[in-house]
Amino acid sequence: TENIYDEMERSYPPRDNSCVIPVSGSSQLLYPEEHPREDPVVMARRLGILPGGQWKPLNCHPLFNVAIILPYRNRQTQLAIFMNYIHPFLQSQNLDYRIFVIEQSPMREFNRAKLFNVGYAEATKINDFHCFIFQDIDLIPQNPDNIYACTKMPRHMSSSVNTFRYNLPYTGLFGGAIALTRKQFERVNGFSNVFYGWGGEDDDFYSRLQSRGFQITRFGPNVAQYYMLTHKKEPPSTTRFANLETGARRYDTDGLSNLEYRVLNHQLRPLYSWILADV
């Protein structure tokens, strides 16, 4: 479509030989199984990916500078499938990008939202990223036109997922994969840190956006199609309702403003930057 450029929030000013956003308009869906699995070191060399999962186009000036933040624990196969799939996908979009995998140390329940905050904080130490994609490792974007860059409004990217039969379950859903500029993310004080266990943290984040007067956007349902890799469902947390209810009181005090964690380990792996955090 023509107006994609109007919707996007560029990271770099336009200049001679700026990269184009390749929009195919095709509704042919991609599937991760169709990508033959390659050894990470071989893939990184073949695709020119720098240690830590960094890449940018060399024959044109990229328009978008993006950090992709993936919370992680105990999903080795999904991680391998995701990395194998996503690099060619991102390269086809001419992005200047880097991928971060934020692994939570054992013991406490998984805290997806806090891991996003940690990813933001760690990424920001490395580079002045303009745009952040926060997303789950089990979600595979199926349409190459679903550009992994920021829009003028915070964007819900995964509004059409196969496990929901490619329908949006409720209008306020802001989970799965989202894109926000650094400014937008900072404006809402990031995610809440209190959501341990499954559920609610994305709903709280949506309320944060609303409370700050943000409108959200979504691309059309066929562009926003995702394929979810299967896994055992987590039991929902019992504290999520209470945390949601009291959420509004904490928007200013709970988030990036009071973020505390310890980095236990970090490595520049061939296809991503790995950070092990105690949260």
Q: From the centroid of its chain, how far is CA 238?
A: 26
CA separation for the pair 71, 76 (Å, rounded): 13
Q: How far is the CB of 5 from ligand BGN (least distance, A)?
A: 31
The span of 17-25, 131-139, 145-153, 194-202 binding ligand BGN (CB under 6 A) equals: 194-202
**Contact criterion met (CB below 8 Å) for 255 and 189:** yes
d(CA 274, CA 234): 24
- Smallest separation, CB 198 to ligand BGN (Å): 7
Give the burial string for 138-149 (b: 16+ CB within 10 Å, else e).
bbbbbbbbbbbb
- Residue of 202, 224, 227, 271 that binds ligand BGN (CB under 6 A): 202
Cβ of residue 176: shortest distance to ligand BGN, in angstroms?
7
Report whether 181 contacts 132 (CB < 8 A).
yes
Residue least distant from ligand BGN (Cβ) = 199
Minimum distance from CB of 219 to ligand BGN (Å)? Answer: 19
Stretch that binds ligand BGN, among 16-24, 101-109, 220-228, 238-246 (CB under 6 A): 238-246
Query: Cβ closer to ligand BGN: 51 or 236?
Result: 236
Q: In angstroms, what is the minimal distance from the CB of 148 to ligand BGN?
A: 20
- What is the secondary structure of 39-98 as a DSSP string? -HHHHHHHHTPBTTTEE--SSSB-S-EEEEEEEESS-HHHHHHHHHHHHHHHHTTT-EEE
Minimum distance from CB of 204 to ligand BGN (Å)?
8
CB of 185 to ligand BGN, least distance (A): 18
Nearest to 226 by CA among 172, 178, 274: 178
Query: Cα separation of 193 and 116, whole Å?
Result: 9
Site for ligand BGN in 122-181 (CB under 6 A): 175
DSSP bridge partners of 230: none
Structure-derived torsion over alpha carbons of residues 35, 81, 68, 22, reported in degrees to the nearest 10 = 10
Sole window of 73-81, 145-153, 199-207, 253-261 interacting with ligand BGN (rule: CB under 6 A): 199-207
Angle, helices 40-47 vs 76-91, to 10°: value is 10
Min dist. Cβ of residue 269 to ligand BGN (A): 28
The smaller minimum CB distance to ligand BGN, of residues 53 and 190, is found at: 190
Of 103 and 138, nearer to ligand BGN (C-beta) is: 138
For residue 62 the two structure tokens come to: 């990229």
Q: Which of 40, 197, 200, 255 binds ligand BGN (CB under 6 A)?
A: 200
Q: Total residues contacting ligand BGN (rule CB under 6 A)? A: 9
Beta-carbon count within 10 A of 235 CB: 9
* Nearer CB in complex with ligand BGN: 12/251: 251
How far does Cα 231 stand from its chain's mean position?
A: 19
By CB under 6 A, tell whether 250 contacts ligand BGN: no
Binding site for ligand BGN (CB under 6 A): 175, 199-200, 202-203, 236, 240-241, 244
